[in-house]
A and B are shown apart, each in its own frame.
Chain A
Amino acid sequence: MKAVLKMASSNGFENHHGCPSNLRSELDKDLFAVGSSADKEAFKRIYLEMGPKLKAYLVKTGQSQSEADEILQETLIKVWRKASLFNPAKSSANTWIYSVAKNARIDRIRKETRPKPDPEDPSFVPDPPETGEDSVNRIQDERLIRAAMQVLSSDQAQIIKMSFFEDKSHAEISAELDLPLGTVKSRIRLAFGKIRNEVEKLS
């Protein structure tokens, strides 16, 4: 048994009626408003902003127009229903919504629910309390990550793009590029190591 003093919110906001300081973009504010006060106008703005991007992503990863529309609709329903679980101290709204869409797509393709950790599970180990310097709690800044990704070699960038945009498995990438599987994996590890280093330099 391990006792963890956990800020029950773990959301990082002191006053949940006020506006948390972690809301950095309009999208963050809108998603928070959907979760905290069922703000329909905010939800509409999210749809207008993210809908066409997610549609493009879903079509790019191989879905037909109608499949993409269905997965997009599932995603929107999940975003509306689960918005109160959005934790602005952990991720941006953009990343959170992208993860919801990605998971909806995967669950549909695999025809089974992929095992996921459940924060409600008594065995779940929650994040440690913020200490300020602890990297475990640091929010991922997409703008920094995007800037950092510019330092990747074209080989590395290609593999990362095939993974994210075509949702290819390492084995598929290995076959397509005619590279040993081990090389694909080590390029991925090198690429993320590089991105992480660069993010640290930039921040």
Chain B
Amino acid sequence: MTIRHHLSDDTLLAYANGTLASTLSVVAATHLAICPKCRNQLEFIFAAGAAELEVLEPDFGSGLDLSIIDEITQLPQEASSIKPENLTLQTTDEKQVPKPLRNILPCELDDIPWKRLVPGISHYPLKGFANPDGKGALRLLKISPGMVMVEHSHSGQELTLILRGSYIDEVGRFAQGDLADLDDNLHHQPVADTDQDCICLIATDSPLKFKGFFSRLLQPLIGI
């Protein structure tokens, strides 16, 4: 799996700060699990924050309480799961979806009870993942080969992670592991471009805007 499309720095910063919407955070964490490059960028952002820490005036409060050190050092430590003695052959299981997503799926990806939206396009909403402001959604989407997704734009942010297959849109080709970090006002129209179903995880933080009469009719149906 070669990943070509990544999380943008502003999304990573929001994730690092805990200000990214819950729905978007699930997609970000799922991509981070399979993308060493984004993990390194995230580390870079933390390092920049830690560097900023140096310019703060230390706060000694009412003095340092050394007794908590004695208490804490009584606690057991976690053993490192890392065994440095030898090299091991670690395999990555690409059949399964990464944990941040798996934790909230009711079953394996292959057994998802898809709901058909229109011929060739089905979805599965992941409920119970509302953002605090009630806006936005998290869902799985399945696009059959050659199917064109309705053209839409975003009033907020949309993160799409490709779990299986691939699609092409105005931005480029997105294959397994790729993440589309799309900003406001971009109109796009993904097309599944291989003989395989394209399955993706999509999060939004506000409702999508559809273009065209039929898609606007479709919108209440889909509820995205």
Chain A interface residues (CB < 8 Å from chain B):
1-11, 13, 16, 35, 38, 40, 43-44, 47-48, 51-57, 59-60, 65, 68-69, 73, 76-77, 80-85, 90-92, 94-95, 98-99, 102, 105-106, 109-110, 112, 114-128, 135-138, 140-143, 145-146, 149, 160-161, 163-165, 167-170, 172, 181-182, 184-186, 188-189, 192-193, 195-196
Contacts and interface: CB of A to CB of B under 8 A. Distances in A.
A1 B102 CA distance: 18
Contacts, number: 273
Given A106-B17, A125-B92, 9 more contacts: A4-B90, A6-B89, A8-B87, A16-B84, A90-B43, A115-B100, A118-B99, A189-B9, A192-B44
A137 B43 CA distance: 11
B58 interface: yes
Contact of A188 (B9, B47, B60, B72): B9
Given A6-B88, A145-B48, A189-B8, A118 B69 contact: no
Contacts of A13: 84
A43 B73 contact: yes
Contact of A146 (B51, B78, B93): B51
Interface of B: 1, 8-10, 13-14, 16-19, 22, 25-26, 28-30, 32-37, 39-40, 43-54, 56-61, 64, 66, 68-69, 72-73, 75-100, 102-103, 183-185
A3 to B, nearest CB: 5
Nearest to B184: A182
B47 A91 contact: yes
A84 to B, nearest CB: 4
A115 B46 contact: no
Contacts of A10: 82
A20 to B, nearest CB: 10
B29 to A, nearest CB: 4
The 4 tightest CB contacts between A and B, nearest first, are A106-B18, A52-B58, A169-B19, A84-B80
Given A7-B87, A125-B36, A115 B29 contact: yes
Contacts of B51: 142-143, 145-146, 149
Nearest to A141: B47
A90 to B, nearest CB: 6
A140 B56 contact: no
A126 B26 CA distance: 19
Contacts of A172: 19
Contacts of B58: 52-53, 55-56
Contacts of B37: 136
Nearest to A167: B17
Given A56-B59, A60-B56, A185-B183, A98 B82 contact: no
27 contacts: A1-B93, A4-B90, A4-B91, A6-B89, A9-B84, A10-B82, A16-B84, A43-B73, A80-B73, A81-B77, A99-B50, A114-B29, A116-B32, A117-B33, A117-B98, A117-B99, A118-B99, A122-B91, A125-B35, A140-B43, A142-B47, A165-B56, A167-B18, A169-B19, A182-B184, A189-B10, A195-B48
B33 A123 contact: yes
A172 B33 CA distance: 28
A23 to B, nearest CB: 15
Given A59-B59, A116-B100, A192-B9, A127 B43 contact: no
B94 A123 contact: yes
A47 B92 contact: no
Nearest to B68: A73
B11 to A, nearest CB: 8
Given A47-B69, A98-B49, A169 B33 contact: no
A8 B80 CA distance: 11
A86 B80 CA distance: 9
B46 A102 contact: yes
